[in-house]
Every structure is written in structure tokens, then in C-alpha cells.
Chain A
């Protein structure tokens, strides 16, 4: 049977990358000083699995490379070698190298042999180093092993080939059956080799009363004739070595005596039984890695396979919990049942079946909704996909900067849409780099400030409403509002005597062209960073906030929608148009009376709600839609929305009802429009625009300022 091994490659690669990530995080934890055996074992297991898999699936370069890593890790695991920082660094480098190597193989590119050799050499230097006392034995690479072993087999076959066959005395110990071995099966195997005969010796079988049926009391003498090598015979018995007395003699021509070729004694582990060891190695070569021909046939060469698999298959596939798929399949089943029920009703429909039809339709609606939920669930990934890369980043950068920094990850299992996961990585990297570079002080400065020497950066993720919130909290020096304002004035970004709240002052760092770093480093931005970060997050439908206390630290919070594909919305009518207001931003909807309304000179209108003045945005005016009959806020409805803590009232004609809408990109189909985040198609086929509340408020404020200035 020939099996196409390439079908397992994708799983194998994914597993390798996961293993590498685990190794990396394990290695990073190792160097914090506390050496724990379980941790080393986890790292070892990562290398071990990759080696095993790559050997089986035909990636011999990878197997060779991981073999060296594994050897080093094995010595660490057994305590034969100390875990030193240089060794950890080399291993970390090797993890990177292996990752690059696997990526290249996966994408069908050629592997950078120079880099591979460099790390392999570095690993070998570590291995041969005196760090662990005894230098590591030079192990042959797994690739050369079988060839060497095969030679031995050939050599031994050359002079061990008897002319006629073998005579085997097989006397199992009582416990032989307890390992699951069965003499009958072994004899059957022997019978396949050649012409065989067997005689049983039952003289040791006790009487019925003493007989323990679980013990093997029989022994056998076997004869096998034919052109059979000792190797083949030994292989049949290789698993019962130590569980029996075995004496294999060549069948000889009458008159000629040949000494016993070999007698296997129990406990062949003892070092002096050199013969047993060689024999084992041969067996292994035969069962394990021998027969390179057949391997070649069944395992497609990596090159062939690479051309077959699409280049970007890695990032487009997704690993899903089986439970999620099962739930979805259940639902599909329900929908099918409902559909056939509806089909039955419609076949001979009479008015008295109306109730039934309605029930069916509402069932269908419920199932569709659940199904949608399930499908969305499949796209949800834990944020740890992003977070897991940061320990390495922090490790590398803090070493470079000479700072001591501990990274805490909280809420790694918080789930978020795959698309968000992919897009949030770069902004987060940027923010963390900023915290590392500008936030956390040098150890000496921290001590002088009376803070612990080691700074802390905490990454925290949690769900709030329909959003995921990601916080980056550092206990560094914090932002100095006066310095920020001075800088902004100097750069001409704000007027000299501007009165800014703390919040507004901190927001300055998001302005284009603003950078407070006294010196530009290669680690964080050159003043082009934060505004881009904010822009990217806003493009994802999120927002970013910053809270800071001088000398205490900074917290940056990012709010992002859980999914970009579907939102809960409230449809509202404005003139002849329908708009969708995202439900998450709506606080309440109310009718106002004339008395509540106030005109504020130069600042538009506002209304008083529970002792708070809330500005009103007339949607007709913003979008230039002719009002139908409701031209005064008191005639329509005010939808109170929240925008970063501040309230705002949208004046619309009427509320049409909440609904889930599928977001279609406006940028992809038309172009970006301020105040609009996308569009959707309604049940009747018409198109409704989805409001981007923060953008709309900004846009409207600017318009008001313009008109009042005019």
C-alpha cells in the first residue's frame, strides 16, 4: 500500500510551529534563573517531536538539525549539562533558524543552508564545550546512521549465511506472555521465512492443580530450512530478548560442527555484552530506517510537494476546536429538518396551516441566527496567538537596552476574530516597543526613584460588551503633560496658551509628527509611530486611549470590535434614507420637548438630559438628506450615543428596529467616507450606510466650527 505522505504535511508544519513557540517560551522562562525539570522536558519534547515527524515525513535536513538540538537538550534534561545563558541563546537562535527553515520548506523556497550550518555549528560548539563536564559523545547524524548500519548487515550476512538453515532452542521464561508476546505468532512469522518444523517440550508443565494459566511453561525446538540470514531469525525474537533463553545454531551438513553463533542471555543491558548491542543496532536499522528504496517511493520528495501546495496556505488555514464544528453540524441538521418541514407544508398549502407555517419560519429564523453565531465562533481565536510572540520581543529588546523587564500576560484566552488577530499584531508590537524604550526606566534610575529594579509590562485582554479590550500597562516613568504640551507648542501643533485636560495632553502623542523621545533609537519610532498606530486601530473599527501618571506608569487601552464581519445595529430613518447605528455605541433613545432644547452660540444645539447638556447632531444636515416632515428635534427621536466617554445626541426621524447587519466594506466598493464605517444590504434589497459614530461626531464638530467661523 502506498500512502501519500504529503497530506500530513500541513498538520506537521502547524505542529512544528506550535512546538517551536512552546520551545521558545520555555527557553525564555528558563533564563529567568529558576531551572525546572518539567520546563526543560517540555522544550526537549518540542525538539523531539519535530525530529520524529520530520524524519517520518522526509524532511531530513530538519531532522538532522533538530537532532543536534535534541542532544543538547537531552543532556540538560538529564542534568549532565548545566543550563547556561550562552546555551539558551544558541537554542533560541536555533529555534528561529528552524522556524525560517520550515517556513522556507513550506513555501517551497530553498533553505538558507549557510544560516542552518551556522547554528548547527554553534550547537555543536555548545555540545563539545566543557560546560557539562564530560564532552558529549559524537553522535552520528540520523541520516548517516542507516547507511552505516546497512553496511554492517551486509558484512555480517556475508559470512553468517548458513547453507541449510537454523536450529533454534526457544525456552521462554514464565512471564513471557505478560508482555503481550505470543510464541504462536512468532512461529508464524518464522514460518514465513522458510520451511519450518517445531517440536514442543511440555515436561515442565505442572499438574492441573498447580498450573497457572498465565505462565508459559512450554519450550520449543524449531528448525527452519532455507536461505535465511541470522539477522532475519534474530529479528523474529528481538522483542522477547531477556524474556527467554534462546539458542540459535546453524543447521550443518552431517559431520561438520560449527560453534554456536550466538546465545542471548537475559539482561543484555550490561555493557560487556557487546555482541547483543551490535545486534540490536542492526535490528533497529532494519526495522527503523532500513530499506531506503521504499521510503523514497512512499514519501514524495519535498520539492515535488512544495510546488503542489499553494504558497500562503499557512496563514489561510485555521485550527478549530472540534466541539465548535460539532455544534455547527448539529445546527445544519436542524435547518435541514426545518426546511423539509416547510417544504411539506408548502406542497399542499391551505390557509389553516398558516400557524404551522409561521412556526416553521420562526424556527428557521432561530436556527439561522444560531448558525451564524456558530460560524462566527469558528473564526474566533484566542488572543494568545498574538500575545505569545511578545515574551521573545521583550526578552530581546530589554537585553539590548540593558533594562530589566518582566512581561505579564493576562487574559490570553480571550477570543477575537481571526482578522482582528492578524491586524492587531503590528500596532501592539509598536506600543510594546514604546513602553520598553520610553516607558520603563534604566534599572539605576528605577532604584533612585524607589521603584523595584525590574520594570513590569502587563498585557491584559478581556471582553467588554461587543468589544475586546487590550491594555498595555507599564510601571515606567509615565507621560509628563507639561513636556508634551511644550513639545507640541514647539512643533507648532497647538497654540501656545491652549488649555488642555490631561487626557487631551496625552492624546497629543497620537498627532502626526510628534515624538518625545530625546534620542531616536532603532527600537521605537522616529515620530511616525503613534499616529499610524491610531489610524490602524481606527481602521479596524476600534479606538485607543491613554492614561498616564507621571512617575507611576502608563496604561494604553485598545478597544476593538470582536468581529469585523457582522455587527448588531439599530436602523434609523433619516428622510428617505435608512442608516444603521452600531448598537454598542447607543446609550438610549428619547423624545425631547422644546423646553429641553438649547441653542449655544457658535456651538450648535444641545439638550438637557438629567442635568447634563448633550450636543445634538442633525443627521439631515450632516448627510445632506432633505428632511421629510420632521425638521425639529422635538418632532423626531434623539439617539444618544457615546464616543469615548462623551455623549452626543443624533437627531433622526424615527427608530426602525434593531437588527444584525453584515458589514460590506465601503472602501473596497467605493471609497472611504468620513462618518461612515461601511454599508449593508437590507432585507428588501436596498443599501443602508453604517455610521462610524466617533468619526461622525468629529466630522460634525468640524462642520459646526466651520459654519460658526464663517
Chain B
């Protein structure tokens, strides 16, 4: 089963995402911010990254940009969780290499549907 790295500085959101994905049979690891995620992603290659945008230390967009530059993550789907309804953030994310986005608030079913979209 695919392995997913869930990145969010908010513990409740992170747990919710991780719990939902685990429940659907994915293998999930959690990271608390961009820096943590970047370290974990280099230890192990994940099949998909789901990251929050607004985080301390390193935000989701910088994380996506950094990961994209790594050979291992060139084509890995990376989704950002965003509450920003404006298209600027999405464009910024896309420019950094994000595959797509999920707009908060979302429910577990939406999350799984979106993931199915990117995981073959």
C-alpha cells in the first residue's frame, strides 16, 4: 500500500488526516513542519505528500519546492491543504510544484477521494 507523509503543525488536523488515511489502508507518517518533513522524506521515499500550507519554520510551499528539487520526489504527487480561498496561494503552490490541493475544511471522504485521484 502507498505510503503517505502527512505534514501539519496542528496536531488535531494531522491526527485526523493520519487516522483517515490509515483507516483506508495507507501507510502514514506524520511531520510537524516543513523542516521535519524534509528530514523524514529524505530518510524514506514516500509515495505522496499531503501538507498544510501555513506552518512555522518552513511552510508547505517551501517544502514542496525543496522536495521537488530532489530526484526522488520529482514526480511524486504533493497535495496542499489550504484554507486560503484566494487563487494566489494555489498558484504559488503550483509554481513551487504542487500537484493539487484540498481546501479546508474538508471531511475524511473528500480527503480519500482526492488521494485516490493521485495514487494509482
Measured CB to CB, the nearest residue on chain A to B85 is A284
Q: Which of B75-120 contact A (CB under 8 A)?
A: 75-78, 81, 83, 85, 87-88, 90-91, 94, 97-110, 112, 114, 117-118, 120
Asked if A372 is at the interface of the complex by the 8 Å CB criterion, the answer is: no
Question: Is B68 positioned at the interface, with any CB of A under 8 Å from its CB?
Answer: yes
Instruction: Tell me the nearest residue of chain B to A10, going by C-beta.
Output: B12
Within B5-25, the residues touching A (CB, 8 Å) are 9-13, 15-16, 19-20, 23-24
A8 within 8 A of B: yes
Q: Give A454-485 as 1s and 0s: 1 = Cβ < 8 Å from B's Cβ atoms.
A: 00000000000000000000000000000000
Could you say which of A51, A239, A281, A298 contacts B107, with CB atoms under 8 Å apart? Answer: A298
Q: Contact partner of A49 among B9, B68, B107, B120, CB < 8 A?
A: B9
A706 interfacial by beta-carbon distance below 8 Å: no
Chain A residues within 8 Å of B97, by CB: 178-180
- Which residues 34-79 of B sit at the A interface, judged by CB distance below 8 A? 52, 54-56, 68, 74-78
Contact in complex: B56, A45 (CB < 8 Å): yes
Q: How far is the CA of A180 from the CA of B46 in the complex (A)?
A: 13
Contact B75 A177 (CB under 8 A): yes
What is the CA–CA distance of A177 and B52 in the complex, to the nearest angstrom?
A: 22
Is A299 part of the binding interface, using a Cβ–Cβ cutoff of 8 Å?
yes
Tell me, in angstroms, the Cα distance from A696 to B30 when the chains sit together.
55
B89 CB to closest chain A CB, in angstroms?
11
Q: Tell me whether B91 and A1 are in contact (CB under 8 A).
A: no
User: Beyond A49-B10, A185-B117, is A287–B106 a contact (Cβ under 8 Å)?
Assistant: yes
Which of B10, B52, B75, B106 interacts with A288 by CB under 8 Å? B106
Tell me whether A48 and B107 are in contact (CB under 8 A): no
Q: Say which residue of A57, A178, A238 sits within 8 Å of B68 (CB atoms).
A: A178
Residues from chain A with a CB closer than 8 A to the CB of B108 are 1-3, 298
**Chain A neighbourhood of B90, CB < 8 A:** 280
Query: In the docked arrangement, what's the CA distance between A63 and B104, Å?
Result: 11
Determine if A11 and B11 form an interchain contact, defined as CB atoms under 8 angstroms apart: yes
Which of A44, A52, A239 contacts B13 (CB under 8 A)?
A52
A180 touching B23 by the CB < 8 A rule?
A: no
Instruction: List the B residue with the shortest CB-CB distance to A13.
Output: B12
Contact status B16-A214, CB under 8 Å: no
Chain A residue nearest to B98 (CB atoms) is: A179
Q: B103 to A289, Cβ gap below 8 A?
A: yes
> Please, how many angstroms separate the alpha-carbon atoms of A188 and B98 in the complex?
20
- Is A55 part of the contact surface with B, judged by Cβ < 8 Å? yes
Shortest beta-carbon distance from A77 to chain B in Å:
11
A56 at interface, CB cutoff 8 A? yes
Residues of B within 8 A of A (CB): 9-13, 15-16, 19-20, 23-24, 52, 54-56, 68, 74-78, 81, 83, 85, 87-88, 90-91, 94, 97-110, 112, 114, 117-118, 120
Besides A63-B105, A288-B110, A298-B109, 11 more A-B contacts (Cβ < 8 Å) are A12-B12, A52-B52, A52-B105, A180-B77, A189-B117, A239-B100, A287-B106, A288-B103, A288-B106, A291-B110, A295-B107
Q: What would 21 A/B residue contacts be, using CB atoms closer than 8 Å?
A: A1-B108, A2-B108, A8-B15, A11-B12, A45-B54, A51-B83, A52-B104, A53-B12, A56-B106, A56-B107, A63-B105, A142-B105, A178-B97, A180-B75, A180-B76, A180-B99, A189-B117, A238-B100, A239-B100, A268-B87, A288-B85
